Structure 1
Amino acid sequence: MTPEQFIAAWKNNPLNERAGAQQHFSDLCDLLGVDKPRDQDNYCFERGAKKAGGGDGWADVWKRGHFAWENKKPGRDLNAALKQLTDYALHLDNPPLLVVCDRERIVIHTAFTGYPDEPREIRIEQLSEPEARQTLKWAFTDPEKLRPEKSTATITAEAAGQFAQLAAAMRNRGEEGQKVAHFLVQCLFCMFAEDETLLPAGIFTDLLRNAGSDTGKAARRIEKLFTAMQKKGGDYGDHDIPWFNGGLFKNIEIPSLTATDLHALHRAAADMDWRAIDPTIFGTLFERGLDPAARAPLGAHYTDTGTIAKLIQPLVCEPLAIEWQNTRRQIAELAPKFGMVKGRKKNEYRPNDALQSGNTLLQGFFNRINAFRVLDPACGSGNFLYLALKALRDIEKRAHIDAQELGLQPELAMHSGPHNILGLEINEFAAELARVTVWIGDIQWCRRNGYPHAINPILKPLDGIDHRDALLNPDGSEAEWPTADVIVGNPPFLGDKVMRSELGDDYVETLRKTYDCRVPGGADLVTYWFEKARGQIEAGKLQGAGLVATNSIRGGANRKVLERIVDTTRIFEAWSDEEWVNDGAAVRVSLIGFGPIFPVDRKNQLEGLEVGPIHADLTATAGINLIHAKKLAENSKTSFIGPQKNGPFDVPFEIAMRWLNLPNPNGLSNAKVVTPTWNGLDITRRPRNVWVIDFGTMSEGEASLFEAPFDYVTKHVKPERIKNRRQSRAENWWLFGEPAPKLNAALKTVPRYVATSAVSKHRIFVWLPSAVSPDKALVVVARGDDATFGILHSRFHELWSLSLCTWLGVGNDPRYTPTTCFETFPFPAGLTPRDTAPKPGQASPPCMANEIVAANIAAAARRLNELREAWLNPAEWVDWVITPEEEKAGFPKRPVAKPGHEAELKKRTLTNLYNARPAWLDIAHKELDKAVAAAYGWNDYKAEMPDDEILRRLLALNLERSTTKG
């Protein structure tokens, strides 16, 4: 079909919505030369089931990983169509594009996570243009080409940077810092409001442009606009200005401006789309840039929403989701009986009893949402509060959608809103910024989800965010906290020794006196928030709390506060050792949820796993506190994480082979810098046969002498690396981002080494030749003896590592780390890494002090490995091959499937093997465990020995070793 034929067929076409939708789409596919929907699981018409209350399902057309498409009759409201797609995006696997169409207009909305919506509208007449057809075709073939250039995080950071420079310039010439900050926050909100059309389009930008360099004129007009926004029924020139209020424009004080200031403000207003700023980081970045008291640099990282969600999810989302599911179940039981009955008056109908009961249940849940309160008693610039409000909005939206599917018709107006959140913040500017964060984020949520935002005023007062000290009143008495359903937050991290220098001796003395007997002397500042929250729970003013603390809360004086929590309520959620960013610095924290918010049948979760009671040291093993385990000197300098590349240094096998034959000006083979590489997938699945370019620590000049690899890195790595935020990575673009010289030195002492995937469902160790380069996804043990391999693969080391590892991923797979899992593990006496270290010039494994038990372990380990290798690569299915280039360079042979066995061999992976755990594998492991138990001197060991007993013995051995000098 030609563009002319398509336009003629569908311009002013009289077919109704249903009759024309699929034919229009099919003709469009013919025009673009793309496939038509034919696959119900991946690309189809009418994705989703019919709703119980009538109406179609989730999308008129859907293509997995590409788009959801909704058709309307010409002239219909495409915003309503977009809302339907937005409502059901989760059911549609969150496609990156949402397309709405009325046959004469096609609007492509971008929905990439973390990126703004940059809609592209294509009118039917434009389809005669190749550019318009190509844009539309990308939706079918390559949606990534439609991804916006900048993420919302990048846009927000750039905006914060511009305002930070402006604020610094104004402060440097003597303007009072808080006055400047308040004025600039008002300006940025105006920029947001005009882009969201809350203000007349372009009004603030035009004000600045028309003022030019006349600072007096600009100041007067800005003041008049701010005043109009503050008033109900305000006006500015010919424009009626909506009532904003909310406190943001209560105080209007324009600082002295320069022509440079005006030009900078105009650039910011004109050049940026302020709708795209990210409220999850907005407050943090603008506080750092605008607040003269902020200590963290603007470029510092911010804590990601996924980490914050580890508290928002169990404290806000999960309990309310449980409540809604119970309500939904009751409504669903009534739904088959929904109907209308005739009233007493003529043509009067009313809901029957079932429908009335369903509406009552729904309204009851909405009332629950409306009354729910979340308190952040150290709210800072509001990121926790905004994410809590977003969670409430999302839950209510889910209830709206579910209710419609069940046959109810809830009003479009939402019952959740900024009134749901409460905050305490000692920094006045941070409190103001928290309010602005919540206002902007909530307006964005409403606009993007198709729900009405607040009006008259647009900015509802947020008096619940209170500027005051959360711990002490001005007279030194204990501060009161408002009653709330839950608390979430990130209280300040100040250690005992730092508190006096930061807060002053008088404040610290008063604080400790006021909280005497409840918070021990020497405890960190953050513990006072934990004790206050515990007290609120005990007083019946709170159901649950989720707070962040440095991971030192698990020990010393700090742990006394958690002991009080465990004694009076329970810890139901804990992440004991997480990464966090505080004042721009990376720290390790614990995330702790406590209180009776859940019914008793909700299991406690530690590191994402269901456990029994969680103790004050954030462990859950009965009577065993493995947190007290120490690093052992005998295990040091043995285990390493592979290098982090930070760039596409990997190359296909074919390219590597060509390079191995090429000469270089230095007379050296490219095999010096091009080697096979393994990552976690090579261990848990099948080897990928990928190679890597690694210049180690070479200078640019030395690296350039390896011509072909260096040219490749120049072309494929350099363009991105020179933009890297880290100066060292940008300047040394030809090197790995995090090289591992100590690892490389250790591997030169052994012909092979032990490796395990850092993250893996099963703790599996394998042998790798030293010529194979490990990736950052591998943890390496630089030993070549079978005894070490066997001990690591024993039940004892597996239990120890699972107890001290971290957990992550959808499946909560354990992460093995050298510091926590390896360096603390007590090997059998005489078989420690210090004992098995290769001696200089020694090619074979060393003779160990305990030769008989070492030989028994080694034999069992070799047997296990031989059986596994025979299963992974059966001789009947596999040929072991090597090219002349590989052989010359000393690289190992590779397994290749014999013709006809490719599919079978693909299934032979260590993950599949350990999932099945056949009898022969189980027997081999048990034989290995016996040999290792004998090395420990555990003559009473049996396979039935409880895990707790094994851990108790290993911890005792660790503590004994850690206190022994030498």
Structure 2
Amino acid sequence: MRLSFNEIRARASRFAADYADATYEKGETQTFYNDFFQIFGVQRRSVARYEEHVKKLNNKTGFIDLFWPRVLLVEQKSAGRDLAKAEVQAGEYFDAIKEADRPRFQLLCDFQTFQLLDRDTRETSSFALADLPKHVERFGFIMGMEKRSFKDQDPVNIKAAELVGRLHDSLEASGYKGHQLEVFLTRIVFCLFADDTGIFEPRDIFLDFLETRTKEDGSDIGPLLAQLFDVLDTPEDQRQTTLDEDLARFPYVNGGLFSATIRTPAFNADMRQRLLEAGQFNWSGISPAIFGSLFQSVMDKQERREAGAHYTTEKNILKVIGPLFLDDLRAEFEGLKARKTNRIKLLQAFHDRLAKLTFLDPACGCGNFLIITYRELRLLEIEVLREIHRADLARMKGGATELPLQSLLKIDVDQFHGIEFSEFPARIAETAMWMMDHIMNTQASLEFGAAFLRIPLRKSPAITHGDALELDWQALLPAAKCGYIIGNPPFVGAKYQSEFQRAQVRRIAGLGKSGGTLDYVAAWFLKAARYGQGHDVPFAFVSTNSITQGEQVAQLWPTLLDRNGMEIAFAHQTFAWGSEARGKAAVHVIVTGMEPSANARPVKRLFSYPDIKGEPVETQPKAISPYLTDASALTNPHVVVGEESRPINGLPRLVIGSKPIDGGHFIFSPEERDTFLATEPQAAPYLRPYIGAREF
């Protein structure tokens, strides 16, 4: 059972007193660190080794005082020794370690002083042994609790997806494929993540189980994993008393992730090695939002070559959720912080409102919009709780009772709803939401010094597998209960739509048999607007810019704005859609935020891009036109230019253009021209170069 931070601080106080006079590196280091790990309830020998032999880059041999692969390197000195020299020595050791085992954290210590370095963030902290109880949260990584920095384009996500991809390829080549493989890999990914983030305790017990309990030829891995999955789906009080002790250490996970019965895969030595390589990777640093899309891509070799080309970057997701609701929530929070009266009461009411917000992504894919939105709300919740409990936190530093995070943290995954056409991405989205929930629980635990874990899983995101254009959204989430709609629906031009897709667009847009030229994404705009009729349900989508250009404007926007009573609340004009991919998708997109006219904000937000790959310039017009331009000066901001089949200036109709309809008889190849002129030289003035788009 995970220790509370109050218990950890008490243990740290006793440890500091016990080693107050420790000074000698050779004689006391091992006892010192055995007891140090016990502060956090971890057996040192189960995770870390002493005197790890390394060959440095200068070919000299060195010995790392304590080494925990991928996690921690310790360089210990006797009391009073120069830690600057220890830092140089630790750096030499770090460079000598093979890349896969290089640790994130580095600790320099002379018994009385600690210097901890996070190599990912470059954050350094230095403190005395006597102050260790005040700094125990910094060592949360020992229990799998690491503070996170959220970055776009972190190569750790691509590396993780590649490792899973190799295992996928081996299993698929053996004939284990389809739904069975998808469910199996989703479970494996959760276990790998749980092993490095404190869901499984102690850290790396899943890896240890694979390394020590399975045969090198891999023949018994499938049955052992099937047994483990069954254990993870069984409450502790319902397990047999004769259950293997190594399996009994794993927690009850719940959530339905391990409940379905699937065929047991047959492993060989190569498959076992690929699973071990994935287990030896440090999964604590992956982003569930980014990894989910990359994980989906490993299932398709073409998509994998593009390495996530269809993933919307975190930066672009924030372009949707920021102006739609997040910027307003943060501005409201800043205003409440500055209040002189009723501040705490108003902050508590604000917190309660955050916990009641609901979100729908009707084209959620692997859930990246939902996951980033959830993360941002949880980060805001942490800030709100910090303000509300500022006095309590000050008392905690003096050893007072921990904050009851179980009851204080109110935002949960069941506030989030999604619809996804394909089953596998829908299940990834669900799992990735749980992963992000755990990451944010860890953030809160480290922020407030109180351990909090939502295992077993009690609540689930509502991710529905189905066609969003055919499903009744009201049946999934009544509009009266929906706060916001967000997402990145599919772009499919009219010429590239299937017959079924064209029929869907015609039906939803009310275009009759003509079908129009609407992009497939337009159907999501229209369905979202109708879904929210009579309710205040703002929405914002990333889409192709074609819906704000040419003949599509007159087909879509009068229906959207006038018949459905909507206004454009904010918009990002055309910009280059970035991707987390190595080979990035060459797509130009827009973001359009819509709100009911009855509750429209008086000032809009319009973001333009002087450089479509650069940063936007924001203006605040009174109205935005369907062409995403400033419409403040227009009497009717909704005006559009309709398609005309006759000249509007009174000139004769253009019956036909310079269309090559002669069957090719007036077009000469160079050889034909030379032959013709040899017999008819007088025709030379009438032969002209034939210039098409390629020559031009």
Give the shorter-chain TM-score range.
0.5 to 0.7
Partner amino acid for 1:243?
Y
Cα distance in structure 2, aligned partners of 1:146 and 1:374 = 32
Deviations 1:924-953 (A, max 9, x none): xxxxxxxxxxxxxxxxxxxxxxxxxxxxxx
Whether the 8 Å contact between 2:485 and 2:539 is mirrored in structure 1 is yes
- Per the alignment, residue 464 of structure 1 pairs with 462
Deviations 1:497-518 (A, max 9, x none): 1111xxxx24532552354259
Deviation at 1:146, TM superposition (A): 7.3
SS of 1:586's partner is coil
Whether the 8 Å contact between 1:534 and 1:565 is mirrored in structure 2 is yes
Q: Which residue, out of 385, 388, 391, partners 1:400?
A: 385
Whether the 8 Å contact between 1:178 and 1:292 is mirrored in structure 2 is no
Whether the 8 Å contact between 1:386 and 1:441 is mirrored in structure 2 is yes
Residue 284 of structure 2 corresponds to residue 286 of structure 1: no
Alignment of 1:343-422 (within 5 A): 358-359=344-345, 361-405=346-390, 411-412=404-405, 413-422=408-417
Partner amino acid for 1:464?
A
- Per the alignment, residue 207 of structure 2 pairs with 205
Unaligned runs of 5+ in 2: 1-12, 18-34, 41-69, 91-106, 124-150, 395-402, 609-617, 642-695
Partner amino acid for 2:227?
K
- Per the alignment, residue 247 of structure 1 pairs with 256
Residue 576 of structure 2 corresponds to residue 579 of structure 1: yes
- Per the alignment, residue 548 of structure 2 pairs with 554
Pair 487,12 (structure 1): closer, same or farther in 2 beyond 3 Å: closer
Cα distance in structure 2, aligned partners of 1:417 and 1:396 = 11
TM-score between both structures, scaled by the size of structure 2:
0.62
Pair 614,407 (structure 1): closer, same or farther in 2 beyond 3 Å: farther
Whether the 8 Å contact between 1:375 and 1:423 is mirrored in structure 2 is yes
Pair 213,318 (structure 1): closer, same or farther in 2 beyond 3 Å: same
Deviation at 1:405, TM superposition (A): 4.0
Deviations 1:161-204 (A, max 9, x none): 12112212322332222321221121121111111232233332
Cα distance in structure 1, aligned partners of 2:363 and 2:310 = 20
Whether the 8 Å contact between 1:229 and 1:249 is mirrored in structure 2 is yes
- Per the alignment, residue 222 of structure 1 pairs with 225
Deviation at 1:417, TM superposition (A): 1.9
Whether the 8 Å contact between 1:374 and 1:485 is mirrored in structure 2 is yes
Whether the 8 Å contact between 1:226 and 1:252 is mirrored in structure 2 is no
SS of 1:538's partner is coil
- Per the alignment, residue 330 of structure 2 pairs with 321
Pair 569,481 (structure 1): closer, same or farther in 2 beyond 3 Å: farther
Deviations 1:745-804 (A, max 9, x none): xxxxxxxxxxxxxxxxxxxxxxxxxxxxxxxxxxxxxxxxxxxxxxxxxxxxxxxxxxxx
Pair 455,625 (structure 1): closer, same or farther in 2 beyond 3 Å: closer
> Does 544-553 or 451-460 show the bigger shift?
451-460
Pair 495,211 (structure 1): closer, same or farther in 2 beyond 3 Å: same
Cα distance in structure 2, aligned partners of 1:512 and 1:456 = 46
Deviations 1:608-643 (A, max 9, x none): 222220000000143599999xxxxxxxxxxxxxxx
Whether the 8 Å contact between 1:186 and 1:249 is mirrored in structure 2 is yes
Cα distance in structure 1, aligned partners of 2:461 and 2:342 = 41
Pair 369,146 (structure 1): closer, same or farther in 2 beyond 3 Å: closer
Cα distance in structure 2, aligned partners of 1:291 and 1:460 = 33
Deviation at 1:324, TM superposition (A): 3.1
Q: Which residue, out of 566, 570, 573, partners 2:567?
A: 570
Partner amino acid for 2:623?
P
- Considering only aligned residues, what root-mean-square deviation do their CA atoms show, in Å? 4.3
Partner amino acid for 1:269?
G
Partner amino acid for 2:363?
A
- Per the alignment, residue 132 of structure 1 pairs with 86
Partner amino acid for 1:280?
A
Deviation at 1:578, TM superposition (A): 1.4
Deviations 1:43-75 (A, max 9, x none): xxxxxxxxxxxxxxxxxxxxxxxxxxxxxxx99
Cα distance in structure 2, aligned partners of 1:426 and 1:230 = 27
SS of 2:489's partner is coil
- Per the alignment, residue 23 of structure 2 pairs with none
Pair 611,171 (structure 1): closer, same or farther in 2 beyond 3 Å: same
Deviations 1:874-915 (A, max 9, x none): xxxxxxxxxxxxxxxxxxxxxxxxxxxxxxxxxxxxxxxxxx
Pair 118,445 (structure 1): closer, same or farther in 2 beyond 3 Å: farther
Query: What is the number of equivalent residue pairs in this alignment?
Result: 493
Cα distance in structure 1, aligned partners of 2:393 and 2:120 = 40
Deviations 1:672-724 (A, max 9, x none): xxxxxxxxxxxxxxxxxxxxxxxxxxxxxxxxxxxxxxxxxxxxxxxxxxxxx
TM-score between both structures, scaled by the size of structure 1:
0.46
Whether the 8 Å contact between 1:470 and 1:481 is mirrored in structure 2 is no
Q: Which residue, out of 621, 624, 632, partners 1:611?
A: 621
Pair 11,442 (structure 1): closer, same or farther in 2 beyond 3 Å: closer
Q: Which residue, out of 228, 231, 238, partners 2:234?
A: 231
Deviation at 1:600, TM superposition (A): 3.1
Cα distance in structure 2, aligned partners of 1:279 and 1:145 = 18
Cα distance in structure 2, aligned partners of 1:204 and 1:407 = 38
Cα distance in structure 1, aligned partners of 2:362 and 2:550 = 25
Deviation at 1:490, TM superposition (A): 0.5
Pair 151,378 (structure 1): closer, same or farther in 2 beyond 3 Å: closer
- Per the alignment, residue 429 of structure 1 pairs with 424
Cα distance in structure 1, aligned partners of 2:604 and 2:454 = 45
Deviation at 1:569, TM superposition (A): 2.3
Whether the 8 Å contact between 2:540 and 2:592 is mirrored in structure 1 is yes
SS of 1:199's partner is coil
Alignment of 1:515-664 (within 5 A): 515-517=509-511, 521-540=516-535, 542-559=536-553, 560-567=555-562, 568-580=565-577, 585-596=585-596, 600-607=601-608, 608-621=618-631, 622-623=633-634
Cα distance in structure 1, aligned partners of 2:298 and 2:566 = 41
Cα distance in structure 2, aligned partners of 1:167 and 1:365 = 45
Cα distance in structure 2, aligned partners of 1:326 and 1:164 = 48
Partner amino acid for 2:86?
A
Cα distance in structure 1, aligned partners of 2:37 and 2:205 = 30
Unaligned runs of 5+ in 1: 1-9, 15-73, 80-116, 336-357, 629-965
Residue 185 of structure 2 corresponds to residue 184 of structure 1: yes
Whether the 8 Å contact between 1:619 and 1:627 is mirrored in structure 2 is no
SS of 1:595's partner is strand
Deviation at 1:152, TM superposition (A): 7.7
Pair 386,614 (structure 1): closer, same or farther in 2 beyond 3 Å: same
Deviation at 1:252, TM superposition (A): 3.8
Partner amino acid for 1:609?
T
Deviation at 1:554, TM superposition (A): 0.6
Deviation at 1:395, TM superposition (A): 1.4
Q: Which residue, out of 472, 492, 505, partners 2:490?
A: 492
Whether the 8 Å contact between 2:152 and 2:313 is mirrored in structure 1 is no
Cα distance in structure 2, aligned partners of 1:153 and 1:214 = 34
SS of 2:389's partner is helix
SS of 2:586's partner is strand
Pair 126,492 (structure 1): closer, same or farther in 2 beyond 3 Å: farther
SS of 2:620's partner is strand
Deviation at 1:309, TM superposition (A): 0.7
Cα distance in structure 1, aligned partners of 2:152 and 2:501 = 43
Whether the 8 Å contact between 2:501 and 2:520 is mirrored in structure 1 is no
Structure with higher RCO (Cα < 8 A, 6+ apart): 2
Pair 625,78 (structure 1): closer, same or farther in 2 beyond 3 Å: farther
Cα distance in structure 2, aligned partners of 1:426 and 1:290 = 16
Cα distance in structure 2, aligned partners of 1:208 and 1:76 = 24
Whether the 8 Å contact between 2:508 and 2:526 is mirrored in structure 1 is no
- Per the alignment, residue 161 of structure 1 pairs with 162
SS of 1:290's partner is coil
Deviation at 1:137, TM superposition (A): 9.8
Pair 449,285 (structure 1): closer, same or farther in 2 beyond 3 Å: same
Alignment of 1:328-339 (within 5 A): 328-329=337-338, 332-334=340-342
Deviation at 1:317, TM superposition (A): 1.2
